[in-house]
Amino acid sequence: MRLDRWLKTRLPGLPYGQLAKIIRTGQVRIDGHRAKASDRIAEGQTLRLPPAPSSRPARKFERVIVSEADQDLISSMILMETDDIIVLNKIPGLPVQGGSGSPRHLDGMLDALTGDGERPRLVHRLDKDTSGVLVLAKNRKMAQVLTSAFAERATQKLYWALTVGVPEVMRGQIRLKMMKRSGKSGEKMEVCKDGKKSETFYTVIDKAARATAWVALMPTTGRTHQLRLHLADIGTPVVGDGKYGGKGAYLTGTISKKLHLHARALRLPLPNDKMIEVEAPLPRHMAESWASLGFEESASAGFEVFN
């Protein structure tokens, strides 16, 4: 289990933003080494923790009162629900978890979906401005199953993006080594020979002259901002992605300046050899861009385009 998730289960009354700060500032050590939130912990390791900020027992999750507006919002995002999982179509602009400058986030709304059971658990994430399929586990057992599935790359993810310009190669594979670096404008992923490996398969579904393209992407690794950096690196940044595309990441005319990156579909293995596939419709600003450019959202552009 990831360190941040493990700590969250044991300190349920501690806001995630405060928990992340404790880890980020080096107050948590694993086997004597400074820990990161994404580090995975295993039996036999030694964790050093700071004094607990609260002495309240962690036997039960403390229910958070979710506003009526946020209850309606998260309910409207539900695409599918079973006894063990909830699948959402996350809206763009909503952070998955809290942090500096993010008082309103998806994690803070999950108590609205608790009902009489356990509080749903996050098992993967999407960037704040990326929309689309996001899975929640409704119990600890399923959280372990899904976390392992994502870690072992047993899932398949399909993204849609609108790019500035058209890739020179219409169908291909992007491989880069990338690393997070801090700068004047904050943290940013960069290509680095000493970085972690990343890989994305892509194919152009449609294009509007040489100005823009509808690109389907299937990442086989899950690095931060991977798809955004990959598309920018081949000279076709995601529309609205000023962080990696600069001023050249925007189109003139009626196309929205918001990020045009959407987690379109997810194939997810479940126990008993079951495989489910869930698809999320485009957010409003992307649907409007598709209509403006003459692209058909209903066109066959799912996983089959990579066969």
Distance of alpha carbon 14 from alpha carbon 249, whole angstroms: 38
Phi first, then psi, for residue 134 (nearest 5°) are -140, 130
3-class DSSP assignment, residue 232: helix
Nearest to 111 by CA among 59, 147, 61, 146: 61
3-class DSSP assignment, residue 76: helix
How many CB atoms within 10 Å of residue 208? 16
3-state secondary structure 263-294: EEEEEEEECCCEEEEEECCCCHHHHHHHHHHC
Are residues 214 and 236 in contact, defined by beta-carbon separation less than 8 angstroms?
no
User: What six digits make up the tokens of 13?
Assistant: 């009354």
Exactly one of 127, 206, 241, 273 is catalytic; name it.
Answer: 127
Distance of alpha carbon 14 from alpha carbon 52, whole angstroms: 9
Distance of alpha carbon 118 from alpha carbon 104, whole angstroms: 22
Residue 42 corresponds to which amino acid? A
Phi first, then psi, for residue 189 (nearest 5°) are -80, 140
Distance of alpha carbon 19 from alpha carbon 273, whole angstroms: 36
Scored b (16 or more CB within 10 A) or e, 176-198 reads bebeeeeeeeeeebeeeeebeeb
Are residues 203 and 171 in contact, defined by beta-carbon separation less than 8 angstroms?
yes
Q: Is 70 a catalytic residue?
A: no
Residue 304 corresponds to which amino acid? E
Just list the catalytic residues.
127
